[in-house]
Amino acid sequence: MSDSSAAHIEGAVDYSTKIPNNVGLVNDARVLKALEQWHPGYIDWWNAMGPEGFQTSEVYLRTAVSIDPKGWAQFGYVKMPEYRWGVLLAPRDESRLVNFGASKGEKAWQDVPGEHRASLRRLVVIQGDTEPASVEQQRHLGATAPSLYDMRNLFQINVEEGRHLWAMVYLLHKYFGRDGREEADGLLQRRSGNPDKPRMLGAFNEATPDWLSLFMFTFFTDRDGKMQLESLAQSGFDPMSRTCRFMLTEEAHHMFVGETGVMRVLERTCEAMKTAGIEDPYDISKVRALGVIDLPTIQKKANLHFSLSLDLFGSEVSTNAANFYNAGLKGRYMETKIDDDHLLTSATYHVLKFVDGQIKTVAEPALTALNMRLRDDYVKDCQGGVNRWNKAIEKYGVKFQITLPSVAFHRHIGEFQRIHASPDGRLLSETEWVKHKDSWIPSPEDGEFVASLMLPCWERGKYAHWISPPRVGIDGKPGDFEYVNIDQA
């Protein structure tokens, strides 16, 4: 039996080709060749723009060896540039249909319908662009990792975002011919934050200066990733759906790192306050003197990353979104669980808008309000995590709660981009905004303070002073496990 036959066992990944895959690349010479040609450019990009330093360190990473949810991961020491980035799709369901839009009821498409080619390519490219962007944004963080455990989690996320890029590049090469190839090359050319060749979406050109930002990013921005992937997983274009479904299994870990990361920072701060007998969370200088991050600064970071992530949903009212839905390309969150006609030709949806100088709820056609709807689902999902943070603060008896700011706060896309609003949703003049903004989003001084705590802590089993150790290790490993073996040079 040849290695390649493994690809035909349900869920198995074929490692015989240069690009591990479960899509039968061994029998698809054209696409295999295209991906092999794209590979060196990817490795060059990874070496130039991936994690800075540590490229020769052994990192305890999980690699997908199967797509069976129960047994897909295998853990072991890997040097990041040698990670086996693969093309992995969830299994095909022969009976799957297009479940919404004008083509509802047709068999799911195995090829790109000609009339939807441009829209679909755009969705694939935008999705693909965010993945390397996040790696670029996070590339400096290894140097200040608060523990080997955290460093390993960062690198795990980075290699998986790299794999998500591969996932989109596969679709481009397989289904979009020459322009797909050009787009795949473009994904390696744009750079986060570069004014001449920026990444496509706003939040992916922002800096991730410190580890608290990383945790907020993986909580809020990776969660946008989850919502977008969930709606693309509904796609009538079956390869897109299958690709996104597998990506979602990896996304869960990214959000876990974010939620538990922020949680550990909150716990450490509350614990230090309690020990020192500080009751007022706003006594910032006293709290900072303990070497931990004060709660109001954590709130400001949440405000910033939440508002940047809301921008990723596009305009509240969007004909693009309506067209994507009508075309059967991008559905709603949990589309098939929703009890309605899945056409939305006559339905309405409540949208928050800025009308006559006021923030108001307006009924809009549900089709054009799909971005708003997905954003609402997103906000609910965020709130769940925030509630868990607040329970932890409560346990320490500290009188403080993290809140999600108004969706009108600090926006750069959509209805509220031209106004200023406070976190509790009051309209503000330009002067008021300028006067107060430093108390709502991190000021340069806050940034300097947080940066001053970002000292590397790379001893086995040790954690930086400003963050609590995790409750459990990765892959059942003990707290003092050597998650990254730095000295492998």
Among 101, 142, 180, 225, interactor with ligand BYC by CB under 6 A: 225
Q: Does 222 bind Fe ion (CB under 5 A)?
A: yes
Does residue 80 contact residue 50 with C-beta atoms inside 8 Å? yes
Among 25, 59, 112, 123, interactor with ligand BYC by CB under 6 A: 123
Nearest distance, CB of residue 211 and ligand BYC, angstroms = 16
Phi-psi region of 323 (alpha: psi -120 to 50; beta: other; left: phi over 0): alpha
Among 312, 408, 467, 486, interactor with ligand BYC by CB under 6 A: 312
Q: Which residues ranging from 410 to 469 are in contact with ligand BYC (CB under 6 A)? A: 413
DSSP state of 292: S
Show the tokens assigned to 294: 């004060």
Among 144, 153, 192, 221, interactor with ligand BYC by CB under 6 A: 221
Q: Does 230 bind Fe ion (CB under 5 A)?
A: no
Which is nearer to Fe ion, 87 or 369 (by Cβ)?
A: 87
Q: Hey, is 428 helix, strand or coil?
A: strand
Q: How many CA atoms lie within 13 A of 188 on its CB side?
A: 18
Q: Hey, is 458 helix, strand or coil?
A: coil
Q: Hey, is 471 helix, strand or coil?
A: coil
Other beta carbons less than 10 A from residue 467's beta carbon: 26
Q: Which amino acid type is present at position 387? A: N
The candidate with the shortest Cα–Cα distance to 475, out of 65, 70, 61, is: 61
Does residue 149 contact residue 477 with C-beta atoms inside 8 Å? no
Q: Does 130 bind ligand BYC (CB under 6 A)?
A: yes
Show the tokens assigned to 59: 């990192």
Residue 202 binds: one of ligand BYC, Fe ion, none (C-beta under 5 to 8 A by kind):
ligand BYC
Q: Does 393 bind ligand BYC (CB under 6 A)?
A: no
Other beta carbons less than 10 A from residue 79's beta carbon: 15
The contact mask relative to ligand BYC for 325-364 (x = CB under 6 A, - = no) is -----x----------------------------------
Candidates 139-147, 255-263, 311-319, 467-475; binding stretch for ligand BYC (CB under 6 A): 311-319
Q: Does 259 bind Fe ion (CB under 5 A)?
A: no
Q: Which residues ranging from 139 to 168 are in contact with ligand BYC (CB under 6 A)? A: 161
Candidates 19-27, 29-37, 219-227, 261-269; binding stretch for ligand BYC (CB under 6 A): 219-227
Does residue 8 contact residue 22 with C-beta atoms inside 8 Å? no
Candidates 87-95, 120-128, 147-155, 459-467; binding stretch for ligand BYC (CB under 6 A): 120-128
Candidates 15-23, 105-113, 305-313, 446-454; binding stretch for ligand BYC (CB under 6 A): 305-313
Among 224, 238, 250, 446, interactor with ligand BYC by CB under 6 A: 224
Which is nearer to Fe ion, 100 or 204 (by Cβ)?
A: 204
Q: Which helix (H) or strand (E) holds 350?
A: strand 348-355
Residue 446 binds: one of Fe ion, ligand BYC, none (C-beta under 5 to 8 A by kind):
none
Which is nearer to Fe ion, 254 or 330 (by Cβ)?
A: 254
Does residue 188 contact residue 172 with C-beta atoms inside 8 Å? no
Q: Residues near 312 by Cβ (< 8 Å), separated by ≥ 6?
A: 201, 202, 203, 221, 224, 228
Residue 119 binds: one of ligand BYC, Fe ion, none (C-beta under 5 to 8 A by kind):
none
Which is nearer to ligand BYC, 17 or 208 (by Cβ)?
A: 208
Q: Does 134 bind ligand BYC (CB under 6 A)?
A: yes
Phi-psi region of 252 (alpha: psi -120 to 50; beta: other; left: phi over 0): alpha
Q: Which helix (H) or strand (E) holds 364?
A: strand 358-365
Q: Residues near 336 by Cβ (< 8 Å), separated by ≥ 6?
A: 99, 234
Which is nearer to ligand BYC, 117 or 436 (by Cβ)?
A: 117
Binding region for Fe ion (CB under 5 A): 131, 161, 164, 222, 225, 251, 254
Binding site for ligand BYC (CB under 6 A): 123, 126-127, 130-131, 134, 161, 201-202, 221-222, 224-225, 228, 311-315, 318, 320-321, 330, 371, 413
